[in-house]
Chain A
Amino acid sequence: MAAGDLIEFGKLVGAGLAMGLGAIGPGIGIGLLGAGAMQAIGRNPEATGQIQTNMILGIVFAEAVAIYALVTALILKFV
């Protein structure tokens, strides 16, 4: 196998692993956020608006970490 092929292989596998492993943490985090929000709404339905706003804010931050992994995968594949 030529050296160039090996590098290509490494890049592709790296891209796949980066996105795959990188999505585990944020996935769990967003699930926890949603669960906490559901429980809070269940206890206090009147505060649904505030809870929803803060949940969306938290989800955007958790998703940002997954986006870092996606950017790494994109750079590996296309640069």
Chain B
Amino acid sequence: MDELMSDVMEPVITEKGCLPGCLTGRGCIIYVVIIAIVALLASRLPVVMPEVSVPAEPIFTIPGLGFAVTNSLLATWLTMLLLIVGSILVTRNLQMIPSGIQNLVEWGLSVLLDLTENVAGERGRSFFPLVTTIFIFLLMSNWMGLLPGFASVGLIHEAHDGGHEVSTISLAGIDVHLLRAQEVGEHETGYTVFAFLRSAATDLNTPLALALISVAATQVVGLRAQGRQYLKKFISFDDVMGLVVGPLELVSEFAKIISFSFRLFGNIFAGEVLLAVLAFIVPYLVSIPFFGLELFVGLMQAFVFAILTLVFMAMATTGHGPEGEEH
């Protein structure tokens, strides 16, 4: 068998035989053992059918204002806390010649700064803080949403219809309720979980807020760079083309808000639903490659949001350019 696939097996064959993990007769045993363990776990600890809720669930209410704090808001605050504390820790003893964490962060920021200057030119440096903040905040919050505990650990609430039975165990004096996989019959009260934390972008409010900030900042930047001229993009009586295209540009600005927010919301929310439903269908195994997909998608969505903001700001400052330019 070794001579049959010798060109493929050559990197993994040593003098003592195949390296552990490659798929020979003995190596297969490991995979069989892993699958057997996972199957045992899946039969003893079944995964609960996920309850998908598009709006974020409120966790508690601030008494004075009557303002309901939702789980995505808690996750946003946690992201902010981590970023602020991280920034303070990194910038504590700034050296002229960086080393360690400061070096790493400076490298990351310099990559982003090069990208910004490639896209927006020298003026790009003034857009850099907002764009990079959006990128880092979204990256952190998307990736944090993949940690265990998000969207799974929370308060038990009675479900309106359907729901699951609950079993209670006592850990160190505190009652911990676990949802069991059986659904309740008719006319019984079922329970569902209102998770404490839920990735910030899975609630439509956060992407909408960021989109509004992006588009508003683009208008401000355009007005500051071009002054009154900027409004000629929307309302222009110079020529017929300008008259027709103006309202289209105005509508397109609002379409940008919607597309920004729904692109981010759809990707991250659908990713969360996908992971939960896959874990229910084939427990513990099939979710693993999809976690990798979610890592990639979280990174790409943060990147695309930031780059689009940057590109629109750059387009708002340069305008159409001098009309007599050769094409």
Q: Which residues of A contact B (CB under 8 A)?
A: 56-57, 60-61, 63-64, 67-68, 70-71, 74-75, 78-79
Further pairs besides A64-B266, A74-B52, A74-B270: 5, Cβ < 8 Å: A60-B300, A64-B262, A67-B267, A68-B262, A68-B263
Q: Is the CB of B304 within 8 A of A79?
A: no
Hey, which chain A residues are within 8 Å of B54, CB to CB? 74-75, 78-79
Q: Which residues of B contact A (CB under 8 A)?
A: 52-54, 259, 262-263, 265-267, 269-270, 273, 300-301, 304, 307
Hey, which chain A residues are within 8 Å of B52, CB to CB? 74, 78
Interface centre among A67, A74, A75 (most CB of B within 10 A): A67
Give chain B's interface secondary structure class: helix
Q: Is the CB of A74 within 8 A of B273?
A: yes
Q: Is the CB of B270 within 8 A of A67?
A: yes
- Contact with B269, one of A56, A61, A68, A74 (Cβ below 8 angstroms): A74
Q: What's the least CB distance linking B110 to chain A, in Å? A: 18
Q: Is the CB of B300 within 8 A of A67?
A: no
Hey, which chain B residues are within 8 Å of A71, CB to CB? 262, 265-266, 269-270
Q: What's the least CB distance linking A69 to chain B, in Å? A: 9
Hey, which chain B residues are within 8 Å of A61, CB to CB? 304
Q: What's the least CB distance linking B243 to chain A, in Å? A: 29
Hey, which chain A residues are within 8 Å of B259, CB to CB? 64
Q: What's the least CB distance linking A50 to chain B, in Å? A: 11
Hey, which chain A residues are within 8 Å of B300, CB to CB? 56, 60
Closest to A60 in B: B304
A-B contact pairs, 6 of them (CB 8 A): A60-B304, A64-B262, A64-B267, A71-B270, A74-B52, A74-B54
Interface centre among A64, A68, A70, A74 (most CB of B within 10 A): A64
- Contact with A68, one of B53, B266, B273, B301 (Cβ below 8 angstroms): B266
Q: What's the least CB distance linking A33 to chain B, in Å? A: 14
CA distance A10 to B52 in the complex (A): 20
- Contact with B270, one of A56, A57, A60, A70 (Cβ below 8 angstroms): A70
CA distance A70 to B300 in the complex (A): 18
Hey, which chain A residues are within 8 Å of B273, CB to CB? 74
Q: What's the least CB distance linking B270 to chain A, in Å? A: 5
For the complex of A and B, list the 3 residue pairs with the smallest distance between their C-beta atoms, beginning with the closest: A67-B266, A64-B263, A71-B266
